[in-house]
Structure 1
Amino acid sequence: MCLLDQVQAWDAANIRCTAISHRSADNPLRANQQLGIANGIEYAAQAMAVHGALTAPKNQPKPKVGYLVSVRGVNMHVARLDDIQADLFIDATCIMANENNMLYEFKVSAGEKILLEGRAAVVLDADALIANH
């Protein structure tokens, strides 16, 4: 399930994506004919995953699989995404990264209005972490 439509810009720390799938009646995250704002976290997680793939070392034999392990400081400024007529902007900034962990700040907005914002922790290659303990 790919919710994002386009990567508008990215660099070593940031990514900005756009999405229009929030307006789709067949969006797979819809429940009871609506798309709640908490689903914006999935949009942000997908942007983080794309950012990880774009910034992965070129000599890495295979991409590491990332797992979203926590979200913190989430502020939801609206109740729903499906009634937002404008395209969504999904911004994520990597504020910390090491070999096995990444911490992102994210926001989902429409025009100048921030709809959802927070932080997310991603663990990379969780199987390797388990094997080392």
Structure 2
Amino acid sequence: MNRDWIAAHIPHQGDMCLLDAVSEWSADHIECRATGHTDPAHPLRAAGRLGAASGIEYAAQAMAVHGALVAGAEDAPRQGYLTSVRGVGLHVERLDDLEGPLCVRAERLSGDSNQVLYRFSLHHGERCLLAGRAAVVLDAEQLEPGAHP
């Protein structure tokens, strides 16, 4: 799956679609490749740099792609909302000074029809740049009032 496929299956369009390709995936994990982090026009750059915390958005997009893949070609992907990130460790200050592709990984740890918990990481070669966990609520607008986590 290339960037065009990814953009057709997640809400992020144009420059905000940060992933270039899906390297591998299964029902429980996904690995994606990204190369735009060195672009001076990157949409998440601030004060002339792309901070490491921006890697959380890369991970969120990988989770969205995973949801689309798991849904299959017959079903429309469900809208997901990142509701929390926990245990995030940033091992670098910035991403834009790293030449070569980034590897974005997400592993589904648990979930049900409305919520999913992922572990995620962002790597440059063998070096871990950031890692953490994220909770995603699916179709939040359809949940009953008071049922939001």
TM range (shorter): over 0.9
Q: Which runs of 4+ in 1 moved over 6 A?
A: none
**Which residue does 1:117 correspond to in 2?**
131
**How many residue pairs were aligned?**
132
Unmatched runs of 5 consecutive residues or more in structure 2: 1-15
RMSD: 1.4
Could you list the per-position Cα deviations for residues 78-124 of structure 1 after superposition, in whole angstroms to 9, with x for gaps in the alignment? 00000011210000000012100000000000000000000000000
Q: Kindly indicate whether structure 1 or structure 2 has the higher relative contact order, using CA contacts under 8 Å at least 6 residues apart.
A: 1
**Which residue does 1:68 correspond to in 2?**
82
Describe the SS at the equivalent of 2:63: helix
Tell me, yes or no, if structure 1 residue 48 matches structure 2 residue 100: no
Give the percent of matched residue pairs that are identical in Structure 1 and Structure 2.
Answer: 53
Question: When the two structures are superposed, what TM-score results if normalisation uses the length of structure 2?
Answer: 0.84
Tell me, yes or no, if structure 1 residue 16 matches structure 2 residue 31: yes
Describe the SS at the equivalent of 1:55: helix
Unmatched runs of 5 consecutive residues or more in structure 1: none
**1:88-127 correspondence to structure 2 within 5 Å:** 88-127=102-141
Question: When the two structures are superposed, what TM-score results if normalisation uses the length of structure 1?
Answer: 0.94
Correspondent of 1:27 among 34, 37, 42: 42
Q: Distance in 2 between matches of 1:91 and 1:49?
A: 12
